[in-house]
A and B are shown apart, each in its own frame.
Chain A
């Protein structure tokens, strides 16, 4: 197989990546020829801004927050950029709550505290799963299974909690919004949990549950929604493709030998990226035939990151021309571009 991608120079980060699902977020800022990356390390988020010419890198670290204390040792579960038409926000979810920053991490615009019990309970409390939905919503999952819907104005800090969706009973693992850009898709958001249950939603003043796809007792650690198709990665190493609104299973892939930690889609080309604890990153291609509504998946490429348990993998652009990878205990962001 001719090499589809080749390795580029890695970006060094200030501290190593923790073993957390979806532990890499990428924001491409075309007007400034910059790409931002975030990688979570325990209670800190490492942010790196890289210029496209490869000459300039700048670093910033954000810390978790707790109550009235500015910095905390509470662990961060996930960090992700939410791209809305009017603004981009960086969202951090931790054991104590949800922090939202301006996209460069310079100012915190909103803090939402979770209800944490006085003495620890057997069920851990944390927020995890982040998605920007349509024009003005940011949705965040919680360990109780709730999905919090925040209403975000086009500027300023007047962000409000507008709704709490109670459908899942297990901790939320990941969430994704429709990323094809098509306005025809009915489903706007998919949420996944530790039992593998997938909920498909339509956004609005009141979010509407379109479908609930039952799990098979396996955690779904990463999920994507593209052209109405739910792409789900599981702890068993399987990837499944479901038609969101109907729940029809279109494809089942025995993709990895270990727990899947990250999925990403390049919306313009239908390239799919999957990464797992088995050290492998795989690139696939999705095609959806509009007439038959059939979904096909084809394997294209493998990349082995030797002796690493991968925890984050994302495309750096909408075509899938380049992708970046993080691994547990690694203090670098490894990059690949098409040959």
Chain B
């Protein structure tokens, strides 16, 4: 439908991914220089000039599978490694978070404010690195140029296109369940109270006019909700108060983050099986964006300190650990150890997290054991 949807989808999902990674890196007390490097490398890749040029071209939305491939590559754009299960969980969280934000936007144009919230946070992540900062600023300018002049109707078309992409996704996310914004059936809570969107009047008033334009009758009806007047409009400029909290970082340092897979859907008629998991043994859905992503070079660390593991999604209730690895090809001993541990946790038949060139290094190492 709308040919302007892909940049918003990519930037917002990317933003959510960064929030999650940042939270886990901090929660696991990863040394700040390493954590910063991971974040910087991913952000640099996200806002690569050539990649963005392709992203911002008018085009139809990618399929779920194709977009997943792009994010698999983005997640591996640094020295960090995720195995299949970790990547799945990360992607579930990212997509459900953005689905929630799109659904709850009071008016379609607010999706742009959500995007700016993500951009503002990304800018903050790289505030100490001027080279990356300028890439981020350039993206802001492109967003402003393309989106600020779009009408409400065009934003609604973008929103409708996004909602088709997110259709039938009801994965339960524990942070949403805890905050009571999601029901146990995976559907989001839509409140019938609070401020109305900017530009809307609170429901209740009927005004009737004569043929000459005079107001002849005024009636109030009971609207059944509990709405209040609209808040001030958020800023659509480079800097400013966005007003909406949607799109801001909902992960505080101490909160554990995990997902529950919703399992078999109760209502069989809605269970359309969509396979979004790229099978590493089969050919990836190589779309242009994924190719551009995979071809981007990131500097490998030159020092020889050993890698270490990080729990991406450990929970108290379930003793399920998923490993994140930092690969240093110069340290054979540590690599052998890491590869061995990784071998214990990957599923049968699934020997590599991705088939990008960095994944190939790992495969080669494992073959050599």
Instruction: Write the residues of chain A forming the contact surface with B, with a CB cutoff of 8 angstroms.
Output: 1, 12-16, 18-20, 41-42, 75, 77, 95, 119-124, 126, 170-171, 173, 193-195, 217-219, 221, 235-238, 243, 248-259, 278-280, 292-299, 302, 304, 306-309, 328-329, 331
Contacts and interface: CB of A to CB of B under 8 A. Distances in A.
Contacts of B197: 236, 257-258
B288 interface: no
A294 B57 CA distance: 51
- Select the residue from A77, A170, A238, A257 with max chain B CB neighbours within 10 A: A257
Interface in B164-214: 164, 167-168, 170, 183, 187-190, 192, 196-197, 199-211, 213
Interface of B: 1-4, 57-60, 103, 106-108, 151-154, 156-157, 159-160, 163-164, 167-168, 170, 183, 187-190, 192, 196-197, 199-211, 213, 216-217, 219, 221-225, 227, 267, 269-270, 272
Contacts of A236: 197, 199-201
Given A122-B58, A238-B201, A248 B190 contact: no
Given A293-B211, A302-B224, A75 B108 contact: no
Given A173-B153, A309-B103, A18 B209 contact: no
A171 B153 contact: yes
A251 B209 contact: yes
Contacts of B200: 236-238, 257-258
The 4 closest A-B pairs by CB, nearest first: A194-B153, A299-B221, A219-B153, A331-B270
A299 B102 CA distance: 31
A328 B163 contact: yes
Given A280-B224, A299-B206, A299-B221, 5 more contacts: A42-B167, A75-B1, A254-B203, A297-B208, A307-B183
A307 B219 CA distance: 28
12 contacts: A119-B58, A221-B156, A237-B200, A249-B213, A252-B207, A255-B203, A257-B197, A292-B211, A296-B217, A302-B224, A304-B192, A331-B267
A13 B4 contact: no
B296 to A, nearest CB: 25
Contact of B168 (A121, A194, A295, A329): A329
B164 A19 contact: yes
Contacts, number: 174
Contact of B1 (A95, A119, A251, A297): A95
B163 A18 contact: yes
Nearest to A299: B221
A245 to B, nearest CB: 12
B203 A251 contact: no
B44 to A, nearest CB: 28
Contacts of A173: 153
A254 B204 contact: yes
Nearest to B194: A257
Contacts of A1: 222
Contacts of A221: 156
A229 to B, nearest CB: 12
Contacts of A18: 160, 163-164, 167
A258 B272 CA distance: 29
- Select the residue from B58, B59, B206 with max chain A CB neighbours within 10 A: B206
Contact of A75 (B106, B164, B192, B216): B164
A122 B150 CA distance: 11
